Structure formats: structure tokens, C-alpha cells
Amino acid sequence: MGWFTPKTPEQIAAEEKEKIRKTLEQYGLNLDDYTADQIKQKNIDNLKKIASDLIGNKWFKAGMALSFASGEEQAKVTYLSALVEQNWILIRQNELIIKELQKLNKK
């Protein structure tokens, strides 16, 4: 397909669907493909990222004098990054709860 050839709505929809699938996979939200132990490991990985971000925040505070950005701005970014990781954990946990409730409802 050339640069100036417009994409069809089907092609655009397929590309969007693939982007969504990759994002869900990246954050471990395609729960049908994972065992409980794998999901637990994903949560542990997110917790490690959170800890790393928060530890990094301490280094930011120590290096405030050498930075072009204010320490407050750096702290905001690291705390927001930690919150994002926490949200992925909560989303996975909520999905697991929903799956278990659906199993109970089928019985």
C-alpha cells in the first residue's frame, strides 16, 4: 500500500484491534491465556517496577540541584508511574474476581 492510498475502515479497525491486543498482552490483561501463577508473577513484576520507581524518586530528591526539572515535577512523575503500575495490578485482580463470579453463576 502506498503512502497516499487511504486505508479502508476494515484495515483501520484491524490495526486498532491489534494495538489493543498488544497493550492487553503487555500488561497481562488477556487473562484467558494465563494461569493464576503467571498472573501472580505479573503482579510481582509490577510491584518491582513500583518499588523501583519509588526508590528512583529518592535519587531524584538527592539530585535535585543537578537537574533541569524541579524536584517536585520529578516526584510527580515517579509517583504517577507507581500509580499506573498499581492500577494494572488492580485491573488484573478485578478481572480474576469477575471470572470467578461468572463461574459461580454458571453453577
pLDDT of amino acid 107: 80
Q: How many helices (H) and strands (E) does the chain have?
A: 3, 0
Q: Where are the domains of the chain?
A: 9-106
pLDDT in tens, 13-27: 888 888 877 776 776
Other CB atoms within 10 A of residue 82 CB = 20
Q: Is the pLDDT of residue 72 over 60?
A: yes
Whole-angstrom distance, CA of residue 94 vs CA of residue 9: 33
pLDDT in tens, 44-68: 777 777 777 767 666 655 565 465 6
pTM of the model: 0.51
Other CB atoms within 10 A of residue 97 CB = 10
Q: What's the pLDDT band for 94 if we cut at 50, 70, 90? A: confident
pLDDT of amino acid 61: 55
